[in-house]
Amino acid sequence: MSKMDFNREFDAQHGKLVAITDELARLTCNNPSALTFAGTNTFIVGKNEVVVIDPGPMDLEHLDALMTAIDGRPVKAILVSHTHVDHSPLAGPLKEKTGAPVMGCGPHRRAVSFEDMDETPMDASSQKDFAPDEELEDGAKISVDGVVIEVVATPGHTENHLSFALPDHGVMLPGDHVMAWSTTIVAPPDGSMNAYMKSLDKLMARGETRYFPSHGGEVNNPKVFLAQLKQHRQMRSDAIMERLRAGDDDVMTMVKAIYTDVDPKLHGAAALNVLAQLDDLIAQGVVLCNGKVTLSAKFTLRETA
């Protein structure tokens, strides 16, 4: 597998407002787990007036800490990157306390390829009743205290995922699309590898040089790291293509052959990743599926002249 320059050094300082730059601070929720690392980072942009980005899970201690960090300042907006339950649920209670509108990603939705897929564990990780006051489109801009926040649509981790840039300051808040401590989960039904890869290209074409994800610390050398992420996913695709050439035609057979060093208890999660990669290969026109792209479908290589 490709070498990844992970940065796992991170002092969460749960419940404490930590200044990152003059215009940006973070407050990390005390919800560490295998998927959230040290917890969810909520970001506050601005000084006299503020915007709150990714309020976090339904955690009342984090809400109290947020209100202390806001310290009576007007809240212009509450921005949400996507509808996983470690990011969006606290938007409602924070709106009640501050009167600020909830803006950003649209309601939770599945990726097009997996609209008819059976329920998976990923469904439980999503806030399905999320309804923003205003859904923001790619390129939309909000100004707070003289700081411009630009919406950058980055579907992939979820179909509705957004990143937020501070372009005048060279800062990108990539949500869960790029994380310094780990590769990002891209799992159906709401995740799409094809969209994820296109979003990586989109970020690589931009000029921001400092990335602060929603979990963990700063990404070192973002341009290099983004290239490593692309190579990592390409090597996963290459491994799947090798299994198809060997005659494997279903997801679980491929998982058992590819993930030999992974606890079999995690093969269910690995299967979702393989399915996302297969969907990307179908979109590239190199793999065929015998019907809808599901865990029980059969896959073959497309014959070439």
- Which tens digit of pLDDT belongs to each residue from 193-228? 999 999 999 999 999 999 999 999 999 999 999 999
Note the pLDDT tens digit of each residue in 290-303.
Answer: 999 999 999 999 98
Bridging pattern class, strands 102-104 and 134-135: parallel
**Confidence class for position 268, pLDDT limits 50, 70, 90:** confident
pLDDT at 1: 46
Q: Residue range 138-150: average pLDDT?
A: 97
> In the predicted model, is pLDDT for residue 2 greater than 80?
no
Q: Residue range 5-33: average pLDDT?
A: 96
Contact in structure between 94 and 159 (CB atoms under 8 Å): no
Note the pLDDT tens digit of each residue in 25-45.
Answer: 999 999 999 889 999 999 999
Percent of the chain with pLDDT over 90: 87
Question: What are 150's strand-pairing partners?
Answer: 141, 165
Please compute Rg for the chain using Cα positions: 20
pLDDT at 117: 85
If you count them, how many residues does the chain have?
305
pLDDT at 303: 81
- Considering Cα of 183, then 187, then 190, then 196, what sign does the dihedral take? positive
Residue 256 has a CB neighbour count (10 Å cut-off) of: 16
Contact in structure between 144 and 46 (CB atoms under 8 Å): yes
Burial-class residue 182 by CB neighbours within 10 Å (0-12, 13-18, 19+).
middle
pLDDT at 122: 72
Pull the structure tokens for residue 58. 């339904």
User: What's the pTM?
Assistant: 0.94
Query: What is the per-residue DSSP string for 142-159?
Result: EEETTEEEEEEE--SSST
Residue of 265, 270, 259, 271 whose CA lies nearest to 296: 271
pLDDT at 267: 87
Pull the structure tokens for residue 87. 């990011």
- Verify cis geometry, omega within 30 degrees of 0, for the bond prior to 189: yes
Q: Report how far residue 32's alpha carbon sits from residue 269's, in angstroms, rounded to the nearest whole number.
A: 19
Q: Report how far residue 20's alpha carbon sits from residue 86's, in angstroms, rounded to the nearest whole number.
A: 21
Q: Residue range 222-235: average pLDDT?
A: 95
Question: What are 18's strand-pairing partners?
Answer: 26
Mean pLDDT of the chain: 94
Q: Residue range 229-239: average pLDDT?
A: 94
Contact in structure between 95 and 132 (CB atoms under 8 Å): no
